[in-house]
Structure 1
Amino acid sequence: MTRTGSPAPQKVAVLMTCHNRRDRTLAALASLDRQLGLPPRTAVTVHLVDAGSTDGTGAAVRAAFPGTDVVRTDPDVYWGTGTAMAAARADPGAHVLWLNDDVVLAPNALAVLLRTADPLQRAAVAVGAMLSADGSRTTYGGYRLRRTPWRPPRLERVEPDPRKPLACDSCNGNAVLVTHAARRTLGDLDPAFPHRMGDSDYGLRARKAGIPVLLAPGHVGVCDDHPPFAPGTSRATRITVRTALRRATSVREQPPGPWWRFCRRHFGVWSPLVFCSPYAKTLVTAVRTRRSPAGDAPAPPPPQPVSNHHLPL
């Protein structure tokens, strides 16, 4: 990596989780390795949790990027748990970069996030917006929490400004820099959220603690989102209502325990209504689209994704 600019030393620990996406994981690491414009003496380490991959991801990463700290775990480790495990292996004095293994970073992404966070002066969380592969739209990034007296609170996506950072209330964790000062105050991801919600919870907790959550200028990488009716999801076609509800309450989507904890922590008197909302929507959609009759064998579970998704608010 080319390191030019401010002479102040700093450490950045990159935290990743992967499962059976060897080519994407290698592409993400290659884009990280090509980062430009970092300050001199910036020390970048990579901590990758390989959640039981059977496609040779771990060996391929060790061969292509021998400096990567790779730890293999069981396949039931998801994004939130894996990122927390990687954080435990990182230098406690380092800033951390949450990085999804399906992100291809822009060449100046890390430098932009570091400038946005201004890490040597304050605690901050710098969020990187993602662009779709066709360049047409923002797929992941920062959110503002909208509260009105007459309707439940909701997270609304913030479009990045090409020239300046924008204040947010929360974020997707695809590419997020958390400064060491913020980590001292907040710790790392809450282990109560094994997959989804941990990133959104972290951003909301940061704002409550007075720590700025800033959306970096422009887009810092490319990452496509997932089609809402993709096979294996609760909104897939030709599945029974029972299958749809089972998928909706799975760890990959909206598990009731973590979801209730999230709602109770952040939504106050609206918590029961917000909690019920995704399950009610799943039920209504399943009935309305007249999915396959009872007795239809459920589809086999798809390969475990490790991307974290935004909340269904």
Structure 2
Amino acid sequence: MKRTIAVLLTCHNRVQKTLECLEALFKSRLPQKLELNVFLVDDGSTDGTCNAVTKKFPVVNIIHGTGSLYWNQGMRLAWRTAASTSNYDFYLWLNDDTILDKNALSELLMTYEEAVAIDNKAVVVTGACRAIINSTQFSYGGRLNNDEPVIPNGKLQECVFINGNAVLVPNIIFKEIGNLSNDYTHGIGDNDYGLQAINRGFSCYTTKAFIATCPPHVGPPGWCNPDNNINRRWQIFHSPLGLNIKEYKLFRKKFWGKKWIMFVAKAYVRMLFPKLYHKINLFK
């Protein structure tokens, strides 16, 4: 029986990365009777992304954003559009800076099937990404409660937090949870979704092997980087592309209850006094 996957992406002004991501996706080895449909939100790009994608990959469904959607809201639009066109078996979140291996889709589906056989219910599978091609240096994927990365070891491994670089969500879970939360603009939505799944009785797994390459962000986040002055740190602290403290507070309150105060207080201290924070290591 044929299975269908809607691949969801959002992009803004990085045409070369977007094209490289799509090229790797379309070069992937597809398991038999698997059909892909790709939904890409072009969020107001001015670098020719739309025309370039249409020319090279005319099968991609391009959705035009407002120019202010960022990742979470762009992915919500892609998901909403895809779900309105067909009843897909799976949805694959894919970051446009993530380069899939040729066997990535097979690995995601094999991990899913093995995990379902153990759990007897649907699961979410996040793809483990390496920092550099052909390396085993973890960059994104699944993490545990202490933020420790779950390194692929050839065996099934559960995780608590999921990064949205390459995530397989079955339609069963989508029907239960719905779209990514509307509480977030750019980040946090992927972590939120994984925790929602766990709270609903589902499990999150990481792939048994690395399936993609995506370089990590290097150095401390801008909002707590001592090389930035306080005004710059404060700006990034509130920016959708930074910590976005208001949305971070919502996230912490949603899953940690009254403990949110501790998390938010630490964030303010880290932003205001980054050198001191690092020295005393408040996360320990």
Give 1:104's match in structure 2, choosing from 77, 86, 99: 99
Normalized per residue, which structure has more helix? 2
CA-atom RMSD in angstroms? 2.2
User: How many residues align structurally?
Assistant: 272
**1:222 Cα deviation from its structure 2 partner:** 0.2
Amino acid at match of 1:103: T
Alpha-carbon separation, structure 2, partners of 1:122 and 1:67: 33
Task: Check if 1:191 corresponds to 2:182.
Answer: yes
Structure 2 unaligned residues grouped into runs of 5+: none
CA contact (8 A) 1:22 1:57 kept: yes
Counterpart for residue 203 of structure 1 = 194
- 2:234 alignment partner, SS class: helix
Q: Residues 115-162 of structure 1: CA distance to partner in whole angstroms, max 9, x if unpaired?
A: 2122797421011011012525100010122xxxxxxxx43321122x
Counterpart for residue 17 of structure 2 = 24
CA contact (8 A) 1:244 1:286 kept: no
CA contact (8 A) 1:240 1:286 kept: no
CA contact (8 A) 1:100 1:175 kept: yes
Q: TM-score, normalised by structure 2?
A: 0.89
Amino acid at match of 1:160: P
Counterpart for residue 38 of structure 1 = 31
Task: Check if 1:156 corresponds to 2:148.
Answer: yes
CA contact (8 A) 1:245 1:279 kept: no
CA contact (8 A) 2:270 2:277 kept: no
Give 2:60's match in structure 1, choosing from 57, 68, 71: 68
Amino acid at match of 2:141: G
Counterpart for residue 213 of structure 1 = 204
**1:258 Cα deviation from its structure 2 partner:** 1.4
Counterpart for residue 228 of structure 1 = 219
- 2:74 alignment partner, SS class: helix
Task: Check if 1:142 corresponds to 2:134.
Answer: no
**1:75 Cα deviation from its structure 2 partner:** 2.1
Task: Check if 1:9 corresponds to 2:2.
Answer: yes
Alpha-carbon separation, structure 1, partners of 2:32 and 2:155: 20
Amino acid at match of 1:93: N
CA contact (8 A) 1:35 1:108 kept: yes
**1:236 Cα deviation from its structure 2 partner:** 4.7
CA contact (8 A) 1:102 1:223 kept: yes
- 1:221 alignment partner, SS class: strand
**1:227 Cα deviation from its structure 2 partner:** 1.4
Amino acid at match of 1:33: F
- 1:234 alignment partner, SS class: helix
Counterpart for residue 128 of structure 2 = 129
Distance 1:276 1:39, change over 3 A: farther
Give 1:284's match in structure 2, choosing from 251, 270, 273: 273
**1:229 Cα deviation from its structure 2 partner:** 4.7
Task: Check if 1:258 corresponds to 2:250.
Answer: no
Moved more, 219-228 or 69-78: 69-78
1:285-300 to 2 correspondence within 5 Å?
Answer: 285=274
**1:226 Cα deviation from its structure 2 partner:** 1.1
CA contact (8 A) 2:237 2:245 kept: no
Moved more, 279-288 or 107-116: 279-288
Q: Residues 255-305 of structure 1: CA distance to partner in whole angstroms, max 9, x if unpaired?
A: 22211111011112321111222222121127889xxxxxxxxxxxxxxxx
Distance 1:37 1:76, change over 3 A: closer
Distance 1:225 1:58, change over 3 A: same
CA contact (8 A) 1:98 1:177 kept: yes
Task: Check if 1:179 corresponds to 2:170.
Answer: yes
